A = this chain, B = another copy of it.
């Protein structure tokens, strides 16, 4: 089901996940700051996402209001799995170990994650 979402498309999805439904115009406004795209580019991306059936459009007068058909949660789950499979043999431990070695975990993060894991154990 989940047609591949490209990088540029992903930026549009983030906007729609944040708030929806939105008109093309609104998407343009929200996506503009980050990526410096012309309105046409955004419209192309909306069109492609529609074709991939990963967003839907409902008519509203002469224009559409777009909304995601795939939950962010779902997308993130898929991508995370693919990522961890690809680089860490499917297990999270090496990822954490890796980041730890690179000193990319702050003390605060370590505490947060520990608390989280503790909660999980009961």
Contacts and interface: CB of A to CB of B under 8 A. Distances in A.
Interface residues of A, number: 34
Contacts of A73: 98
B93 A116 contact: yes
A116 B87 contact: no
A contact face: mostly helix, strand, loop, or mixed: helix
Q: How many copies does the complex hold?
A: 2
Given A92-B105, A105-B120, A116-B93, A98 B110 contact: no
A77 B80 CA distance: 15
Interface of A: 10, 73, 76-77, 79-81, 83, 86-88, 91-93, 95-100, 102, 104-105, 107, 109-110, 112-114, 116-118, 120-121
